[in-house]
Amino acid sequence: MGRSSLVTRGGGGWSGDHRTGFMILALVALLCRLDATLAESLSPDTMDDAATPRNAPAGPHYRNNLELEEALRNFTQRCSHISKLYSIGNSTLGVPLWALEISDKPGVSEPEPAFKFVGNMHGDEPLGRELVLLLAEWLCENYLKDSSATLIVDKLHLHLLPSMNPDGFAAKPNPMRNNAQNVDLNRDFPDQYFPANNNEGKRQPETRAIMNWIRAVRFTASASFHEGALVANYPYDGNLAVNQNCSVSPDNSTFRYLAGLYANNHPSMSKSKEFVGGVTNGAKWYPLYGGMQDWNYLHGNCLELTLEMNENKWPPPIKISQLWSEHRKSMLELVLSTVTVSIHGF
């Protein structure tokens, strides 16, 4: 049968053969259209889109604030048996300061030590945002399989604050160190040598949120993540003489132990040519006033380190996995020290 006979119309309407032929033609056309649509849907571009969460860039990247919140919520759904998501307050622009608690009894008060990691205090230092999430994922995946993961979850309460400065991170055209009011949050805390900061009502929203958090939880130990060097820094950060001399705290030996513990479990930090053993007293490196580290210790009885995680700020996203591998053991050992070693503030 020729193609033309399928569409020949008789004077009284379609013949049975003609109707059948037309239906076949329509079916063929429909199948061709479906084939084209299917081929387009299976192209490499659309296949990548289908495998990637909506609104999430493909490949390694620093998650924006909305993606960060989504990741935290997703984590607590998947790992609800060991986690609780809560906010310690809001940033200057109203972004929630999300914190994640990891424990076998999250949200329950227990006679166990509490440890916290704080990331992204400076908006242009984003590595901590990702490392704390990677730590959380590792703990969830390895709980009851790995002895370190199990000990951390069962014997202490770990609190993770991925971003203390979400406004600085999201600043346009470029992320900035300071918060939305152009204040360096690591110069904004009340300070024993800088009384101008002692009016708590004039502290930044992010600073006040951290202070209230520390007073509420009573952390045993803590660390904040920074970039621009590779060293474990310990108190005091300032001194009365305002010079680069060591400023020793009553718990100097414990601080040196904790800093050394971190540096020695990192593949290269302890081999530093600039810092002996990969550690430094804050004031000896350079004095600063209004820092979070000293306030934690003096007012929260919390032993806090400032961890400089990478020589350069904003390392390429493709290096996040490598940097996690380099810092993972140090991070775990520092947290575990609150259980395996008797440490406490003065």
CB atoms within 10 A of CB 76: 19
Q: What is the dihedral of CA 39, 41, 46, 51, to 10 degrees?
A: -120
∠ CA 258-259-261, nearest 5°, is 60
3 state SS of 247: coil
The residue among 212, 196, 179 whose CA lies nearest residue 94 is 179
CB distance 168 to 123 below 8 Å: yes
Q: How many helices (H) and strands (E) does the chain have?
A: 11, 8
Query: How many beta carbons lie within 10 A of that of residue 65, not counting itself?
Result: 19
308 is catalytic: yes
Positive/negative CA dihedral, 209, 212, 216, 222 = positive
Nearest partner of 211 among 222, 226, 220, 200, judged by Cα: 200
CA 159 to the chain's CA centroid: 12
Q: Are 206 and 164 in contact (CB under 8 A)?
A: yes
Question: Which tokens sit at 291?
Answer: 């820092």
Question: How many C-beta neighbours within 10 Å does residue 112 have?
Answer: 17
Token pair in block for residue 89: 């307050």
Catalytic residue among 101, 308, 326, 333: 308
Distances (CA, A) of 201 to 16, 168, 189, 208, 338: 89, 21, 11, 8, 33
d(CA 113, CA 188): 27
CA atoms of 179 and 92, how far apart (whole Å)? 7
Amino acid at 336: L
**Residues labelled as active-site residues:** 308
